[in-house]
Structure 1
Amino acid sequence: MNGVPFRDVFWLITLALVWGSSFAAIKIAVETMPPMTMVAVRTVIALCMLLPIMIAQGAALPRDIKSWYMGVVLAVFGLALPFFLIGWGEKRVESGQAAILMAVMPIATIALAHFFARGDQFHWRKLVGILLGFFGVLVLVGPEALKGLGGQIWHQLAIAGAAICYAINAIVTRNLPSGGTLIGRAVMVMTCGVAISLPSAILLDGATAVFDASAESIWITLYMGVLPTGLATLIYFYIVEAQGPSFFSFVNYLNPVFGVLWGAFLLSEIVHLDAVLALVAILIGVAISSWAPKMKL
């Protein structure tokens, strides 16, 4: 039986803690900043953060063509497209509904990983873990959130599409050529992300759109560039390379739980018992999936 080191579980929870703040942050940012401009600012800030770290460590960018080709794919499916889809979707979709829709990601990941990710085949314990995680999300958001599904169909489909983008991104990351450093790969992907999002933002929103945004939107976007984009990218690469896409996918079940905790910490919102029960269910799901032997069903 192959257990997952506590270190990797710690980094998964840390990533969820950082990403869990993104939904509220995006909601604030897109009030006065167009979604694609927000994406461009996030990626530029993240690149400005990661590049000096790479230089200071004496690391280098990947030099093979295959890595850069896959880097473009990662920038599209892990940065530009899902950031834009979530930003646009959250203009109309409530956070509880978004949590349910993003829960598509682990289910899609476990299916794709069986066929396309080396060393990450399907096992019944993974399925049990995924279902427990999904149950935890339902406990957290409650039945009322389910009633709203279908009301803003295109915005909801956009968020579900972002979840599938993240699933594809995790599979591609697992299949990156071996060698190189985490920071080198992160800078490569962020460079591709800037090359895609910056021209797109200028084309869609105009070169001065960022200056029309409120100070609050700008500051919250700067925060997203440093933590939920820059730092999170390093943790993301580590987790996927160490444990595979299926294990990483549990981050999307933990995100809404930490979103509630962020609300309690920053906005003095009350943490109800359902949030605690949801966290317990999700962590049990992570544990069951983590202990799954690496064998086919």
Structure 2
Amino acid sequence: MRSYRNLLLFLLLATLWGSAFMTINAGLEYFPPVLFAAFRYDVAAVVMLGYAVLIVDDPIPRTRGEWTLVAIGGVLLIAAYHVFLFIGESDPHVTSAVAAVIVSLSPVLTTVFARGFLPEERLTIVGTVGLLFGLGGVIVLTNPDPGSLLGDGAVPKLLVFLAAASFALGTVLTRTVDAQLPIETMEAWSMLIGAAIMHIVSIGLGESVGDVVWSFEAILALGYLSIAASAIGFLVFFDLLERLGPIEINLVSYVAPVFAALSGWVFLDEIITIATVLGFLLIFCGFLLVKREAIRAEIVRYRSTG
């Protein structure tokens, strides 16, 4: 089971973040967008800080490198990504399908940033083809209307693109910092910094707590995004980032829409079409190309122990 740990954690992360798209759309009915994101990380930060205090000897970053690592996480992975994403998704022209296609550019953007900051993380030509297969699978899976992608709402779509770029850049930059910090500590303080930044942005946009419509559905959406998608999700993300590197971990952007479609089928009775199945197959082919060396090594290991 240990040899499949990364795969199981990757699928868990894709499930949590894939279902989060549906939850965000539901929660935006009750919260102003940036305030919603800030509340999400207020809760997640408190939970993670308490967890870090319990299991980490020193839950406070001490060195300049450690605070640099936390700052990258707070500014890019938390604040910038969620401010751009939540504002973009609050626009009626940005459907879940359109947002999924734009966000799924994250692995491609990560590859671009890695070429500048992490030369050792560059993909081969075959790996790049695998990325393109995965992107094609996401496009087929979400089946966006080309007119919707290129038509009205250009600014909010640009914001979603900036969200994907912020996350990709943040993922790469965390690997350039020479600092060792427990995952729990990095996550907790990044969330605290990110939440504080988002509250400042929310105030600047004129959002108010008085605009929130508190209901059972609102609390449920906030709770799921805070605990499952944020606290647990980023704990898994940072763990896998150390093991897989920025390019491979950001492939979760390709798999998340698969779980978004499956969660819609299970909970909302949405129909899985032929296009959905074809999208799954393209994404699967992309994974086979990107992970071909690991798969080949696993087959050899299995045969040698069989």
1:224 aligns with 2:222: no
RMSD after superposition: 2.0
Which residue number in structure 2 is paired with residue 78 of structure 1? 77
Contact preservation (8 Å) 2:137, 2:280: yes
Counterpart CA distance in 2 for 1:209 and 1:13 is: 38
Which structure 2 residues correspond to residues 30-45 of structure 1 after superposition, within 5 A? 30-45=28-43
Counterparts of 1:273 and 1:7, CA distance in 2: 31
Query: 1:31-62, CA deviations, whole angstroms, 9 ceiling, x for partnerless residues?
Result: 23111111111111111211221122134232
- Superposed counterparts of 1:30-179, under 5 Å: 30-59=28-57, 60-91=59-90, 92=92, 93-117=94-118, 119-142=120-143, 144-151=144-151, 152-179=153-180
Q: How far, CA to CA, are the matches of 2:292 and 2:62 in structure 1? A: 36
Identity across matched positions, percent: 26
1: distance between equivalents of 2:204 and 2:81? 18
Mapped to 2, the partners of 1:69 and 1:16 lie a distance apart of 27
1:36/1:205 contact within 8 Å kept: no
For residues 186 and 233 of structure 1, the distance between their equivalents in structure 2, rounded to whole angstroms, comes to 7
Question: Which amino acid counterpart does residue 19 of structure 1 have in structure 2?
Answer: W
Could you tell me how far 1:272 is from its partner in structure 2? 2.2
1:28 aligns to what?
A: 26
Q: TM-score, normalised by structure 2?
A: 0.87
Q: Which residue of 2 aligns with 1:187?
A: 188
Q: Which has the higher mean CA deviation after the structures are superposed, 243-252 or 68-77?
A: 68-77
Contact 2:140/2:275, CA 8 A, preserved across alignment: yes
TM-score (norm 1): 0.89
Runs of at least 5 residues in structure 2 that lack an aligned partner in the other structure: 295-306
Checking the alignment, whether the CA contact within 8 Å between 1:61 and 1:187 is kept in structure 2 is no
Give, in whole Å, the separation in 2 of the partners of 1:180 and 1:108: 26
Of residues 123-132 and 277-286 in structure 1, the stretch that sits farther from structure 2 once superposed is 277-286
Contact kept in structure 1, 2:61 and 2:181, CA below 8 Å: yes
Is the partner of 2:54 in helix, strand or coil? helix
1:197 equivalent in structure 2:
198
Q: 1:102 to 1:58 in 2, by over 3 A?
A: closer
Displacement of 1:206: 4.9
CA offset at residue 273 of structure 1?
3.1
Asked whether the equivalents of residues 126 and 292 of structure 1 are also in contact (C-alpha less than 8 Å), the reply is no
Q: What SS does structure 1 have at the residue aligned with 2:120?
A: coil
Opposite residue 241 of structure 1, the aligned amino acid is E
CA contact (8 A) 2:97 2:142 kept: yes
Structure 2 residue aligned with 1:14: 12
What residue number does 1:233 align with? 234
SS of 1:119's equivalent in the other structure is helix
SS state of the match for residue 269, structure 1?
coil
What secondary structure sits across from 2:271 in the alignment? Answer: coil
Equivalenced residue count is 288
